[in-house]
Amino acid sequence: MIALLIRDLKLGTRAGGGFGLGLSFFLIVVVLVPFGVGPEMGQLSAIAPGILWVGALLACLLSLDRIFALDWEDGSLDLLATSPLPMEGVASVKALAHWLTTGLPLVLAAPVLGVLLNLPQAGIWPLIWSLGLGTPALSVIGTFGAALTVGLKRGGLLLSLLVLPLYVPTLIFGAEVARRGAMGMEIATPLLMLAGITCGTIALLPFASAAVLRVNLR
């Protein structure tokens, strides 16, 4: 499992991987928002939590088609299916590698980009907590979507259509945590809901992803 994780981390951080692509898209979204809604600081402060969460979600979405695509093209996925490592473990490692190369950098960059949107100081830590808890769910759900569309030509659009509805609960509670934190309100309830969603996806979706991969490899 460790060797597979290291391999996927190397693939994700090299040129064309999800690391630079996700961060660049996140930065572009944050920079363009003031041009679209205006430079008024109060308005930017009010929409900052939602914009940051939507930007992070879309940035995660960009690299989902790469999770299994390279392994499918070079035949590595067939070898992984016959290896001692169960497919549930393969799916879990793939999701972890995606989060480490895409989700974690977004969590670290979000406070800095929040300053560009005039996010209140009180909302910085709630934003970090919400993204830290929510982005693993995005990676696990995205891995399931990537498993469904593996092997399909031009499956990126279909992958987006499949995954985006599943992202909605995570987006709602994640943005609510950041919004309440920025307003100085209590965040425990949406934070617990977000943690429950993440724990549920981590517990269940690797099995669903493994089942779908076995079907696609037959």
Q: Identify the pLDDT of residue 155.
A: 66
Q: What is the pLDDT of residues 85-129, one digit of tens each?
A: 888 998 999 999 999 998 999 999 999 999 888 899 999 999 999
Are 179 and 129 contacting, i.e. CB atoms less than 8 angstroms apart?
no
Give the Cβ contact number of residue 17 at 10 Å: 19
| Domain around 14 | 2-217
What is the length of the chain?
218
CA 103 to chain centre: 5
Average pLDDT for residues 178-193, to the nearest whole number? 93
Which DSSP state fits 17?
S
Distance CA 105, CA 55 (A): 13
The CA distances from residue 3 to 7, 9, 60, 103, in Å, are 6, 10, 23, 21
How many domains, the chain?
Answer: 1
- The reported pLDDT for the residue numbered 15 is 52
pLDDT at site 18: 63
How far, in Å, CA of 94 to CA of 77, rounded?
A: 12
pLDDT digits (tens, 9 = 90+) for 164-178: 999 999 999 999 999
pLDDT band at 16 (very low <50, low <70, confident <90, very high): low
The pLDDT tens digits of the residues spanning 127-167 come to 999 999 999 999 999 999 998 888 777 667 788 888 999 99
Q: Between helices 87-98 and 2-13, what is the axis angle to 10°?
A: 40
Those residues whose C-beta lies under 8 Å from the C-beta of residue 110, and which sit 6 or more positions away, are: 26, 52, 56, 127, 128, 131
Q: Which residue from 145, 7, 203, 2 is spatially nearest to 85, judged by alpha carbons?
A: 2
pLDDT digits 0-9 by tens, 30-57: 888 888 888 788 888 889 999 999 999 9
What is the pTM (predicted TM-score) of this model? Answer: 0.91
pLDDT at 17 exceeding the cut of 70: no
Question: 58-78 burial, b if ≥16 CB within 10 A, otherwise e?
Answer: bbbbbbbbbbbbebbeeeebe
Provide the residue type at 71 as one letter. D
Indicate the SS3 state at residue 42.
Answer: helix
